[in-house]
Every structure is written in structure tokens, then in C-alpha cells.
A and B are shown apart, each in its own frame.
Chain A
């Protein structure tokens, strides 16, 4: 069974840091392009960023609100995706979903989602 399980969420003060993890199973993680998507309470979906497979360059893309503060990385030996979040702001409060999907820049869709982990940024 294809599965993504996020962990690492919690309460953090503004300006603080947090690292989320996403454990993948049931598919060849090393070949997958992986994304993080978040959803603030009562709000819509917001794509956070993506990392391509190493065979496709392993490059990352980020949404403007998180660029320079968040870093996506992967450990293919552990089938794990990471989201390092620094300089956190109250507006980063959200459920963070790990996702994977089609390995194509233009026809990029996300067909596997984790259940999400909650990050709360508050003093």
C-alpha cells in the first residue's frame, strides 16, 4: 500500500524553527517528485514547495511566502522527506501535507497524500 506519514508538527514560538518529516512506503521513493502542501485553519490549500528525484536533478522549488525560510530535502536511503522551517511566522500556522504525484514539470499533479501534521506558531 502506498503511504505517506508526516510527523514533527507542534507548537513553536514566532521566529523559531521546526523540522517536519514524511515517511514514505509502498513505492520507489527515490524516483518520486515530492511536495509539501499546507492549509491554514479554515483556509484553502497552499503549495509550499517541491523536490525532484535525484535522477531528475534533485532540484527544489518554493512558493514565494516561504522562499528563503523553508528548505525541502530528502534521504532516499531512509525513504524520508523533510521540511526544515526557520524564522517561523504566525501565518505559517497550518496543517502540512506531504504529497507525491506525477514526475512531470507541466503535467504535475499530486495523487498520494499523507494525513498531515499540524504546526502552530504562537507566542
Chain B
């Protein structure tokens, strides 16, 4: 099984900050990596697919990069509605999620 890790597990940031979240796979997964945002009590929302493709309707301040084993999700200027938990998900084998990164208000 492919193991996914994320760092940090949580972070505190201010509105306007640039935020970077890292996701690492236990083996190469090419670019088969997706990112989701989840707010408390809500279903997850797809942000980025295929490592760097922005899902329709998602603000351009979100971007993804990476391939192989190391990936990043970047929020260029954090907005109040971005405080949430972010998950990566690999699709190289049977799908699996990372443990999540919680972004809260500093």
C-alpha cells in the first residue's frame, strides 16, 4: 500500500499570508495526486487534480505542484474562507488520503 504523509499537521496563519502544505508519497505516484479542502461539518471539496490542475470554480490563489513523491499545495494569499483542513489523495493505486493539514487563524 502507498502511504501518504502531510506536513505540517496543523498551522496558524493570518489573512494575506502565503501558505504551503506538503504531501509525500511512500513511492512514486507520478502526478496522480489530488487536493481537497474540508470545512467542519461539510463534505470535502476538490481543489486540485493531477497534481497541478485547478478544478473549475476554485480561486486562482490555490495552486499545486510536484511529481513523483513530493507535492505541494500553495495558497498565495490566505483568505478568511480558506481556514479549513486540507487533504491530499493519491490515485496511483487504490485511492488513499493523507492525514490532513488543519489551517487555522493566528
Question: In the bound complex, do residue B43 and residue A44 qualify as a contact, i.e. CB atoms below 8 Å apart?
Answer: no
Interface size class of B (residues with CB under 8 A): 20 to 34
Main secondary structure of the interface of B (DSSP, over half): loop
Q: A97-B43, A114-B43 are in contact. Are A47 and B100 (CB under 8 A)?
A: no
With A45-B97, A46-B97 as known contacts, state yes or no: A106 contacts B91, CB within 8 Å: yes
Cβ–Cβ contact A45 & B46, under 8 A:
no
Complex contacts, B32 vs chain A, CB 8 Å: 106-108
Given known pairs A45-B87, A111-B55, the reply for A101 and B46 (CB within 8 Å) is yes
Q: Compute how far the CA of A108 lies from the CA of B49 in the bound complex, rounded to whole angstroms.
A: 8
Whether a CB of chain A sits under 8 angstroms from the CB of B96 is yes
Point out which of B43, B89, B92, B100 has the most chain A C-beta atoms below 10 A from its C-beta.
B43
Asked whether A109 and B49 contact (CB < 8 A) given A97-B43, A116-B43, the answer is yes
Inter-chain contacts of A105 with B (CB < 8 A): 91
Q: Which of A46, A108, A114, A116 has the most CB of B within 10 A?
A: A108
Contact with B along A4-44 (1 / 0, CB 8 A): 00000000000000000000000000000001010000001
CA distance in complex: A25, B49 (Å): 23
Q: Is B1 an interface residue (CB 8 A)?
A: yes
Bitwise interface map of A from 60 to 82 toward B, beta carbon under 8 Å scored 1, else 0: 01111000000000000000000
Q: Which B positions have Cβ atoms within 8 angstroms of A?
A: 1, 30, 32, 34, 36, 38, 43-46, 49-50, 55, 85, 87, 89, 91-92, 94-100
- Mind listing 6 A-B residue pairs with CB under 8 Å? A44-B99, A44-B100, A50-B95, A64-B1, A105-B91, A113-B44
